[in-house]
Chains A and B, each alone.
Chain A
Amino acid sequence: MIKKLRKGMRAVGWYGCLLLAAGIAGCKPPPGGPAAGVIKIGEFASLTGKEATFGVSSHEGTLLAIEELNAAGGVLGRQLQLITEDDLSKAGEPATVVNKLIARDGVVAVLGEVASSRSLEAAPICQQNKIPMISPSSTNPKVTETGDYIFRVCFIDPFQGTVMANFATRTLKARKVAVFTDAKSDYSKGLAKYFKEAFVAAGGQIVAELDFNGGDKDFKAQLTAIKSANPDAVFIPGYYTDAALICIQAKQLGLAVPLFGGDGWESEKLIEIGKDAVEGHYFSTHYHPDVGSPRSRAFVEAYKKRFNGKLPDAMAALGYDSAMILADAIRRAGSTEGAKVRDALAATRDFDAVTGKITINEKRDATKSAVILQIRQGKMVYLETVNP
């Protein structure tokens, strides 16, 4: 009996050794040592859900950058592998997918997100694991304040708020402005705050301040109150689905003043849903394909070729830039080690990016110019560039 058991155990042992051997063989690094393996880069984006066009544009830009880098021989002689996770535009999801990217996939850096609330959710996780994170287009200042591993390649809302306050006073000649904020979004609250500060400092008056919750469908109650405050213009720092519905219901209520917002408005969906109700309104953003350097024109051509003639928007350009800046930092660091890549990112100076020259400042933000667009005949038309 005991003999039999022993025999059995030996057999198990043999199997175990065999399995182990197979496992080692399977995991053996490819010829040339570990340096020749792929560099895994994680990306989390809102590919579906409320802000889906942001995530899709940003992802397409990032993907294009990675493909171009790989075609040119990769970074440090290694190919890049982009691992993308969808966060469904939902709170709670970014933490789950970024944990998965870091723990299970072992990515060396994380790219994402557009929405500040979701970047703020992922940032502490990247910081804790000492994995550099680059947000392509989250503009709330708090995102990079999370820690020294968190970067961004876009401007921040104190600047964007000032730009729109100046635009309201100078171009729209507005003296009285109402502000309609998405109380659920860090982006919206931040941008509203900086706009109000700058607009009041410029001598303007805020005549009404009302809130909505992102995802609401009925805005008539607040818009009626805004209308009776009789503003010259209404600032709506929200995202495009809400902004489109707000424009429709404002028109229905006969609120016939200019409405304007921030980069959260930039999506084809704004026009698709809002139709004639968004006509003539304004918003600020990071980039427009009509303006820019030879670098930008080359990007527009490459993007159109890759994505069936689709014109890139600001989110696509910033997604592209975020990947390019990361590749540049890895190259200069000569390593994919978190701390070294972080130091190299922090030392980025005058990087020739699609959305302009990028210098990372001591707060790990990029100092860049903004553009203002107007919706005319269903198109987003370039109006002016504002420098910091």
Chain B
Amino acid sequence: MDWLQQLINGLALGSIYALIALGYTMVYGVLRFINFAHSDVLMLGAFAAFFLEPAVSKLFSPQSYLGALVVVLLAAALCAAIGILIELLAYRPLRSRPRLTVLITAIGVSLFIEFTCQHPAVFGAATRPFPRLLPERHFQFGGATVMSDDLVVPLLTSGLLAVLWLVVQHTRIGTAMRAVAFNPQAAALMGVNINRVISFTFGLGSALAAVAGILYALKAPGIEPLMGIQPGLRAFIAAVVGGIGNLPGAVLGGLVIGLLETFAGGIPGLSNYRDGIAFLILILILLFRPAGLLGRAQVEKV
């Protein structure tokens, strides 16, 4: 039952990528640029949980679902604030500049966070053990071992996708987001407060990154300031594969990348080319379906 176990591994990993990809795709949808600092917000989320956990587990019993929820919510709130701050300080002053300027700035912000956090006075570059937030249970299922975490992650991802969908499609702020994505000038003329909408988008995306960071740290309980780079890169590919700017596409892309990576990783001789396979998919998609799996091709108006 090897394939079943790999399917479970792949879904658990892919769900985390999906969660990260949602943040990339949301910011892209509204602002049309890739926020490369997203993967570092993910790392900050994991570190926030790392520092909050001892305090929270004193209030609630350690490894309780309620305690874990409090840690996740606090870390998400903190990262939402950080995301809004990044947009305010780094991206907002450049909003009227060419998109390339903002893109390069995003890379700069990413490097700034990574190397600041590696300084011994901040987090230091050494790997730290991440605490267990949830009780660990194993289920045997048709010869495969299912960890409780493997169930929590996909459930949480689908739940958050549903919430996100509701927010974007059925709330006032969601309507405003779609309006800004469609045409910022026109939206502003109709009385939409663009700054507030963009701040909200960054906050929401960063909160998702924090949740993904914590889930990633639960999976591999050793955290360090560069931990976000690898999943961030894969999630970025996932967002493009699914059709950047498209929410269900991001989730689909995440699952595709996670599953492919896992199945490739299980084959001797191929296990070393996991990254290569992810990029191969990216190239194929860009060649044959540039708008992504679920994206709609847009005709550039000249």
Interface centre among B10, B124, B227, B265 (most CB of A within 10 A): B265
Q: Give the complex CA separation of A379 and B127 in angstroms.
A: 19
Contact A224 B268 (CB under 8 A): no
User: Can you name the residue of chain B whose Cβ is closest to the Cβ of A209?
Assistant: B268
Q: Give the complex CA separation of A183 and B270 in angstroms.
A: 12
Closest chain-B Cβ to A198's Cβ sits at a distance in Å of 20
B287 within 8 A of A: no
Chain B contact-residue range equals 35 or more
Given A211-B271, A221-B261, also A253-B125 (CB < 8 A): no
| Contact residues in A for B262 (Cβ distance below 8 Å) | 218, 220-221
| Contact residues in A for B274 (Cβ distance below 8 Å) | 213, 221
Interface centre among A208, A224, A248 (most CB of B within 10 A): A224
The 0/1 profile, CB within 8 Å of A marked 1, for residues 226-251 of chain B is 11001100000000000000000000
Closest chain-B Cβ to A350's Cβ sits at a distance in Å of 38
Interface centre among A211, A218, A273 (most CB of B within 10 A): A218
B54 within 8 A of A: no
| Contact residues in A for B145 (Cβ distance below 8 Å) | 252-254
Contact A212 B271 (CB under 8 A): yes
Residues 9-64 of B at the A interface (beta carbon under 8 Å): 9-10, 12-13
The 0/1 profile, CB within 8 Å of B marked 1, for residues 88-131 of chain A is 11000000000000000000000000000000000000000000
| Contact residues in B for A213 (Cβ distance below 8 Å) | 272, 274-275
| Contact residues in B for A89 (Cβ distance below 8 Å) | 125
Given A224-B5, A245-B220, also A88-B272 (CB < 8 A): no
B135 within 8 A of A: no
The 0/1 profile, CB within 8 Å of B marked 1, for residues 227-254 of chain A is 1100000000000010011001100111
The 0/1 profile, CB within 8 Å of B marked 1, for residues 198-228 of chain A is 0000000000111111011110111011011
Of the residues B125, B219, B221, B266, contact of A222 by C-beta under 8 Å: B266
Residues 255-292 of B at the A interface (beta carbon under 8 Å): 261-268, 271-272, 274-275
| Contact residues in A for B221 (Cβ distance below 8 Å) | 245, 248, 273
Given A218-B13, A221-B262, A253-B145, also A269-B127 (CB < 8 A): yes
Interface centre among B9, B261, B271 (most CB of A within 10 A): B271
Q: Give the complex CA separation of A20 and B2 in angstroms.
A: 77
Stretch of A36-44, A46-54, A166-174, A284-292 at the chain-chain interface: A46-54
Residues of chain A having any CB pair with chain B under 8 Å: 48-50, 52-53, 88-89, 183, 208-213, 215-218, 220-222, 224-225, 227-228, 241, 244-245, 248-249, 252-254, 269, 272-273, 275
Residues of chain B having any CB pair with chain A under 8 Å: 2, 5-6, 9-10, 12-13, 118, 120, 124-127, 129, 136, 138, 145, 147, 216, 219-222, 224, 226-227, 230-231, 261-268, 271-272, 274-275
Q: Could you list 22 A-B pairs, sorted by A, with CB under 8 Å? A: A48-B120, A48-B126, A53-B126, A88-B118, A210-B268, A217-B227, A217-B230, A218-B219, A220-B12, A221-B6, A221-B266, A221-B271, A224-B5, A227-B5, A228-B5, A241-B222, A248-B220, A252-B136, A252-B138, A252-B145, A253-B5, A254-B145
8 closest residue pairs by CB, A with B: A221-B265, A217-B220, A48-B125, A211-B272, A225-B266, A220-B9, A221-B262, A52-B126
